[in-house]
Structure 1
Amino acid sequence: MQLFRCPRTHGPHLERRYLLRWRWAAQTERADHFLEHPPEVPLLRWEDELPEPCVVHPEEVDTYPWAEDDTLPAALIARIDAWDDARTAEGGRDAPNYQGALSIPPGWRVGGFPSWASTGPMDITCASCRAPMRLLLTAGGDEMDPDSHSWMPLEDRDLSQQGIASIRGGQSVTEPTRLRFGRDRDLHVFTCPTDPGHPPQWVLS
């Protein structure tokens, strides 16, 4: 699967345009071919319109649903909220919490659950057949943040510090792709489980 993003904004609301392409793995080129000769690009208004050439090194992790509205049973959400409140009372605002440290990692990820930090949970249905759509990919500008205690690699974290001060390496570590989506939101790519040929949906949250 290839995800394309136009480096320019479009329309009165400065919208981004994306394109999803499915390809046979045997017919695709090696990733290092694309990194050897990056394409020439026109002068862009903002630095974060052009990605930094880099390679993704995936690792498998367990994730859990966003805890809001009916994403989980109400009684369980109440227990999670009480646990978060107790952690905050004990450790302050930098204490680990369910949403940031236990449920959904920041950054780029395949599958799992969407984060609904900006919009609240949404029902995403296919425009062609009305089937509930599945999360295929999430693209995020930051690979770590002060809440990502469980997801931050130990080599990038100063254990003697708390919050954002604990992140080592600066912007090249926290924002390796140099891309931003919306106002520092996550770009969720949803596809139809009934027919992958149906148009995907792009959700900023």
Structure 2
Amino acid sequence: MPFVGLAQFFDRDVPGLAAGPDDADLVQIFRCPFAHGPHLERRYHLRWRQAAETERAERFLATPPEVPMLRWEHELPEPCVLHPEEVDTYPWAEDDTLPASLIALIDTWDDAQAAEHGCDAPSYQGDLSIPPGWRVGGFPSWASTGPTAVDCASCATPMRLLLTAGGCEMDAGSHSWVPLEDRGPSLRGKASIRGGVSVSQPTRLRFGRDLDLHVFTCPANPGHPPQWVLA
């Protein structure tokens, strides 16, 4: 069965996009439309290309390959146009992702916010460090699994986060990242999000049990096989 295209990014459009092999400046992400094996695992594919050669290609498919009938709506992406926005992110604060003294200060601040604001209190993990949804570069979110070392299987170099794909662009635990036009200015948390599923899940995709899909590449040799981590 043909793989389904999930995303493509041009280096000219995305500041800080990780370098590809042989100066490739276009990266494409694909997924098999079906799950495999007893654990319903997904198969992904990363393809680096030269944008100039691709745009001059003389042979394109006249008709894109059709995906057969799928069981769930979230198997097939909703076509989207990207409008990249550059934001500052900070590491997940757990284990040794940050110095222990700094994590202790963050925990103290979180506790103070919770005491003052209750269940709608801002938090470092949800409101300040890593935004939800799709993002290029930055730091991985380890909300479900806890921090994990991701090293290149070919050369053991610590890998770099290329892309994170998420099912939701916003949720109740990440109020500060919700665009102003999509939230009620006088409300916080889940109640503040306006627009329903079409706004919070624009790509109509899910990864695992509502986890994030992290795509890691090797900074020493981008041609080495990537790693796909659900967390």
State the TM-score, normalizing by the size of structure 2. 0.83
2: CA distance, partners of 1:158 / 1:72:
34
2: CA distance, partners of 1:182 / 1:29:
34
RMSD (Å), alpha carbons: 1.6
1: CA distance, partners of 2:193 / 2:53:
39
Q: Equivalent residue of 1:185, what SS?
A: coil
Residues 89 and 5 of structure 1: CA distance in aligned 2, closer, same or farther (over 3 Å): same
Q: Percent identity among equivalent residues?
A: 79
Counterparts of 1:69-80 in structure 2, within 5 Å, are: 69-80=95-106
Deviation at 1:163, TM superposition (A): 1.1
Residues 141 and 29 of structure 1: CA distance in aligned 2, closer, same or farther (over 3 Å): farther
Q: Equivalent residue of 2:71, what SS?
A: coil
1: CA distance, partners of 2:116 / 2:84:
34
> Which of 127, 130, 134 is the matching residue for 2:160?
134
1:118 aligns with 2:111: no
1:22 aligns with 2:48: yes
2: CA distance, partners of 1:168 / 1:39:
36
Q: Which residue of 2 aligns with 1:89?
A: 115
> AA paired with 1:144?
M
Q: Which residue of 2 aligns with 1:54?
A: 80
Q: Which 5+ residue runs of structure 2 have no aligned equivalent?
A: 1-26, 57-62
2: CA distance, partners of 1:160 / 1:29:
47
C-alpha distance after superposition, 1:160-200 (max 9, x if no partner): 22211100110010000000001110000000011111100
State the TM-score, normalizing by the size of structure 1. 0.94
C-alpha distance after superposition, 1:128-174 (max 9, x if no partner): 01111000000000001112222111000101222111001100100
Which 4+ stretches in 1 moved above 4 angstroms?
none
1: CA distance, partners of 2:119 / 2:71:
36
